[in-house]
A and B are shown apart, each in its own frame.
Chain A
Amino acid sequence: MANQSFTKSVLKKTTIGIIIGVILVIAAQQTHFPLVFQVMFFIYAMLGALVFILLDAPPMKRLEGVKAVAALLVFYVLLSGMYIAGATILPQYDPTIEAGKIEKVLKMRKARSQQGKADELIARTKELDERAKTISKLLRSLGAGAQVEAVATSTSGGAAASGDIVALGKEQWELQECYNCHKLFGSGGKKRGPVMDNIGNLMTPEQLREKLLYPKKWKAEGFDKQYKKGKMPDKYRDLMFDEEIDALVAFLASLKDTSVTTPKPIKMY
């Protein structure tokens, strides 16, 4: 009898859950929520139904001995599976994107560190060894009088080194993740910092450098709260090398799009 009434309750609450879910989906459609959010609202409605089903569920029979142990083990497996599955169905950040970025940021630092120097020496020794082997192989195969072809050597960071300073500065913009707080070319920024499209017309390269290294010396008009809270990190003078700062400043100085309203910088001290 109790089981029958519970079954009825399950059916009733599931039906209500589905009806509410459908209403939510229609309302979400009408108010321009994307499909993924519509699905999410439907899941919430069904979660609500499940909660109300559990509230009126009949008491569970007591388990003892092996049955209790087995029930516990199944419960743990279910929980583990549920948490792993829940974490897996959410969007995953691709670590390779970040790994490439980190490699670029740390490259110069690594080269200047002790560990980097040691790694560099090992790499150079290996490279020279390879070259020696290739040359002797070539000499043996070509015989006397033959001209030894130059051995091509790979150069790392050639593209970056040969690129112009503004392009390097743009790369710094990406690597230092300035886009997290500043909007540029219509993307990035969450209102934490000012739009930068016309900053090149408002500040000289020297002033830009000063702002970058000592953020408190300049404030953007309308950003009093952010200025007060010190939202602009004052870490770049420690984290960036001179070459990187020069490049970033050059890039910022090149931003001269007058069609985009850029807050006026104010000298504070």
Chain B
Amino acid sequence: MKTLHRSIWMVFGLLIGGAALAYGQVPDAPTVNFPYAGNRTAVWVVANLHILFAAFILGAPIFVVVAEWLGYKNNDPKYDRLAKEVIKVTVILYSMTALTGGLFLFVLLGTYPDFSTWLIKHFFLVFAVIYPLLFILETVILYTYFYSWDSMKGPLKGRHIALGILLNIVGTVTLFVIDGPTSFMNTPAKAAEGVSLVEFIQTASLWDKMANFSWMPLNLHRLVGNVTFGGFIAGLIAAYMYMRSKTDEERSYYDWMGFVGNMIGVGALLLLPFMGYLLAYELCDYDASICPYMMADQLSMFFEMQGAMIGLIFLASNYYIWLSLKRIEGVEQIRMSGFVALAVLIMPAVMGMAWKMFPPPEWQSLIFLAAIVFVPMVLGRVPGLKNFTVSAFTMIKIGFLMIVVADAIWMTPHGFVATQGLATHDLELPEWAQELALMPAKNAAAFTLVFLTIVNYIMYNRAIKRGTIIWGKIDFASQFVLIFLAFSAIWTMGLMGTVRSLTRKYYHVYNLVPDFTPEAFTPTLSYSAWWITGVTIVFYAVVSFAILVTLKPASSKAEAH
């Protein structure tokens, strides 16, 4: 028996030794080269797709738990149904997030093995322990939350909502954790004066690397972006289901769901320009040369496109309010102070001047801001002046006029050139009008868009309270507006993600790990647009499929039953 054991061990040892020897003689695997697209684009596409799914599964539960809570608080089953339908789609897309995440890892390791290994080693605890544990925990909570929906009713509903809140806490922590390495690639921790960055990074703690310049701005930007995204996808679900509905009751429900999704999407959207501004501010603060690269040079036309997209999104969301308003009976009686209309008309000019005199973070501009927002409201209550009013429709039309003006300001570049180095007099703004292309003007335009949207929602709210809303009777075009909003929001996310990655220029990790591959250049906007559109379509196709297989209008369910 002893001899047998020894023989087995010997054979085993020989096998191991032989395998090790054979492995040692195996030449390196050939380099991976993605056909047609190239390695960089392959990583870009997979990463973009993964982030879209991840954004949805992190954003939708925030939306879901708020809806569930509203339903519980107001004893309104509509909210509960809405929440349950969105979480059903989320559960399906959760597996797509994991799948694309795995794909992303394989593609990254195959195409950029040296850099991937370098990054994994620097964030080993995050990649090997914290992130997987959080992901597992989130999976467990998500499935428990979903499958206990029907069993945790009545007195147990509060606990179910608490579970939803826990899901969101874990989701948010997961987002913050994975944002550490991502933001580190943009803004690696800064070394003290006299210490080389390369040396510093070798000895820096994990926390030093995580809590870098752009970490928190990226966290906030993505968190708000995910809520916007969740809201617009809920709008998309509603639009699809509205189109599929056979009865007035169903149409009424999905009309309402579209309204709620859009309201949450737009509500979060109002914060997004400022979150984006904060992220850009931190990037510029980290290294001032990033700013001209983004705003004046290679990426300037990407921002021109972003301006166009944001303008279209604001136009569409306000158009949706307009269509919603048109079906409210008694809306003709709703009026608003004429001073608000006047404030809206002068807002871009006044705020542009204020931010020129007192650029952020100087606080004095807030005085102008407060004055232009609150003075009209106060004047509107002064006896003798309060009769100066305009109708809801006139106010919205003035609003649309100013949205077009604000879009125009946002989209006016310093010059119609790909980089300011190529600017000539026949392509750039005349000297006297150059303020139009500077940040104070852009901030004023962004603020005008946000303010107008808030005014429109205030008016809409008044109309709902005083008039009678007929759910299900909205103009059918509104469903296309909801679809447009979701598509455009996804496209813009892809564009801005591209911009954020490109600000690393020819580095994997900015100023630290150069990218020696021939693809380390800024692609053209047109090339980027093709790929962003492709990714958006793939994502849209998967989401549409998930919606169609998961949800069925109640009437079809009844028929099937």
Contacts and interface: CB of A to CB of B under 8 A. Distances in A.
B287 interface: yes
A90 B300 CA distance: 10
User: Chain B interface residue count: which class?
Assistant: 35 or more
B429 A37 contact: yes
A35 B522 contact: no
A112 B523 CA distance: 27
Given A61-B476, A88-B526, A190 B289 contact: no
B170 to A, nearest CB: 35
Contacts of B559: none
A144 interface: no
Contacts of A90: 301, 304-305, 416, 525
Contacts of B506: 102, 105-106
B144 interface: no
Contacts of A233: 287-289
B483 A75 contact: yes
A48 B292 CA distance: 31
A98 B533 contact: no
B487 A76 contact: yes
Interface string B194-225: 00111000000000000000000000000000
A241 interface: no
B1 interface: no
B371 interface: no
A47 interface: yes
A64 B524 contact: no
A55 B401 CA distance: 11
B393 to A, nearest CB: 9
A116 B516 contact: yes
Contact of B243 (A63, A105, A115, A238): A63
B537 A95 contact: no
Contact of B418 (A54, A63, A71, A91): A91
Which of B193, B288, B427 has the most chain A CB atoms closer than 10 A to its own CB?
A: B288
A142 interface: no
B418 A180 contact: no
Contacts of A221: none
Interface string A52-94: 1011010111111000100110011001100110111011111
Contacts of B243: 63-64, 68, 72
B480 interface: yes
A40 B526 contact: no
A48 B398 CA distance: 11
B23 interface: no
A190 B288 CA distance: 12
Contact of B296 (A32, A99, A190, A229): A190
B305 A87 contact: yes
Contacts of A148: none
Nearest to B243: A68
Contacts of A102: 506, 520-521
B529 A84 contact: yes
A62 B400 CA distance: 26
A84 B533 contact: yes
B427 A36 contact: yes
Interface SS majority for chain B: helix
Contacts of B428: 34
Given A48-B401, A99-B518, A34 B301 contact: no
A230 B285 CA distance: 8
B436 to A, nearest CB: 10
Contacts of B289: 177, 180-181, 233
Interface residues of A, number: 70
A61 to B, nearest CB: 7
A192 B193 contact: no
A239 B477 CA distance: 55
B521 A238 contact: no
Interface string A95-131: 1001100100110011001011000000000000000
B408 A44 contact: yes
Interface in B412-458: 412, 416-421, 425-430, 432-433
Q: Which has the most chain B C-beta neighbours within 10 Å: A79, A88, A188, A214?
A: A79
Contacts of A79: 484, 487-488
Given A40-B412, A76-B540, A106-B516, A95 B529 contact: no
B214 to A, nearest CB: 15
B491 to A, nearest CB: 6
B315 interface: yes
A237 B196 contact: yes
A75 B193 CA distance: 56
B526 A94 contact: no
Interface string A18-59: 000000000000011111110011001001100110110101
Given A34-B425, A52-B400, A55-B397, A99 B433 contact: no
B319 interface: yes
A6 interface: no
A94 B421 CA distance: 12
B44 interface: no
A235 interface: yes
Closest 4 CB pairs of A and B: A87-B529, A93-B418, A60-B477, A88-B526
19 contacts: A31-B433, A33-B433, A34-B426, A44-B407, A51-B400, A72-B483, A79-B487, A80-B536, A88-B529, A90-B304, A91-B301, A94-B524, A177-B293, A181-B288, A190-B296, A192-B288, A229-B285, A231-B288, A235-B197
Given A61-B476, A86-B529, A91-B417, 9 more contacts: A44-B407, A47-B404, A59-B475, A86-B305, A93-B298, A106-B514, A106-B516, A181-B288, A238-B198
Interface of B: 114, 191, 193, 196-198, 243, 285, 287-289, 292-293, 296-298, 301, 304-305, 308-309, 315, 319, 322, 397, 400-401, 403-404, 407-408, 411-412, 416-421, 425-430, 432-433, 475-477, 480, 483-484, 487-488, 491, 506, 511, 514, 516, 518, 520-526, 528-530, 532-533, 536-537, 540
